């Protein structure tokens, strides 16, 4: 009997099946890594947006002399001083509009649509504070992005920072 040096068709089919299985598992793992990367990027972008919003909001409140909160507290907040600054919720954006002299500037902050956004004005004999609360209505949004609650506390018309103060400390 002669000894063949080639491979049988069964051996070749087994190798192809194993290779395709490994390739399919690698493709699924790569797709999952890309999804996790996209969610992490969105989460980081959202955290940077909230940090930027906190800085600008606090600066606006410190420069303002008064606060006008219309009937719908979740929709609009107006700060007046040397310039007029209006914050308004529009769908998945918080729009900041500043009117100074004859010039108007706008800035938008992307926020998830399914969050509860509210302003609260707290006053005591020492100072007035505006508290901006951004709270998720669910643990994750429609894209699976986890969003935790944010609370920005800002003093009206003072250079004193209230970063890190609790509402109970302010109301004393």
pLDDT tops 90 at residue 170: no
Residue 96: name the closest of 65, 36, 55, 150 by CA. 55
Residue 4 pLDDT exceeds 60: yes
Burial class (CB in 10 A: 0-12, 13-18, 19+), 154: buried
Query: Facing residues of 130 across strands?
Result: 121, 154
Confidence at 167, pLDDT banded by 50, 70, 90: very low
pLDDT tens-place string over residues 20-70:
999 999 999 999 999 999 988 988 888 899 999 999 999 888 888 877 765
Beta bridge partners of 111: none
Average pLDDT for 111-138: 81
Q: Give the pLDDT band (50/70/90) at residue 171.
A: very low
Higher pLDDT, 29 or 163: 29
Question: Whole-angstrom Cα distance, residue 111 to residue 101?
Answer: 29
Using a pLDDT cut of 70, give the percent of the chain over it.
81
Which tokens go with 13? 């089919």
Nearest by Cα to 110 from 92, 124, 125: 92
pLDDT at 23: 97
Q: Are 68 and 75 in contact (CB under 8 A)?
A: no
Cα–Cα distance for residue pair 45/27, rounded to 1 Å: 27
Asked whether residue 169 carries a pLDDT value surpassing 70, the answer given is no
pLDDT range class, residue 159, cuts 50, 70, 90: low
Q: Which residue has the higher pLDDT, 4 or 108?
A: 108
pLDDT mean over 83-96: 87
pLDDT at site 80:
78
Mean of all residue pLDDT scores within the chain: 81
Q: Which two tokens stand for residue 53?
A: 């919003």
DSSP string across 13-45? HHHHHHHHHHHHHHHHHHHHHHHHHHHHHHHHH
d(CA 4, CA 22) in angstroms, rounded, equals 29
Q: Which of 134, 142, 137 is nearest to 39 (CA)?
A: 142
Q: The dihedral of CA 30, 36, 41, 44: what is its sign?
A: negative
For the chain, what are the domain ranges?
Answer: 9-63+113-171
pLDDT of 164 higher than 60? no
pLDDT at 16 over 70: yes
pTM here? Answer: 0.71
């Amino acid at each position: 009997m002669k000894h063949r040096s080639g491979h049988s068709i069964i051996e070749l089919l087994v190798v192809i099946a194993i290779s395709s299985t490994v390739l399919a598992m690698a493709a699924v793992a790569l797709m999952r890594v890309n999804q996790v990367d996209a969610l992490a990027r969105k989460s980081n972008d959202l955290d940077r947006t909230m940090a930027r919003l906190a800085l600008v909001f606090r600066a606006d409140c410190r420069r303002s002399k008064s606060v006008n909160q219309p009937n719908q507290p979740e929709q609009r907040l107006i700060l007046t001083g040397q310039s007029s600054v209006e914050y308004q919720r529009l769908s998945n954006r918080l729009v900041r509009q500043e009117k100074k002299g004859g010039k108007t500037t706008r800035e938008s902050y992307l926020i998830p649509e399914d969050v509860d956004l509210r302003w609260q004005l707290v006053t005591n004999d020492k100072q007035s504070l505006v508290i901006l609360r951004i709270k998720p209505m669910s643990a994750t949004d429609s894209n699976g992005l986890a969003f935790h609650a944010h609370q920005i506390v800002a003093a009206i018309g003072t250079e004193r920072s209230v970063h890190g103060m609790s509402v109970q400390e302010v109301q004393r």
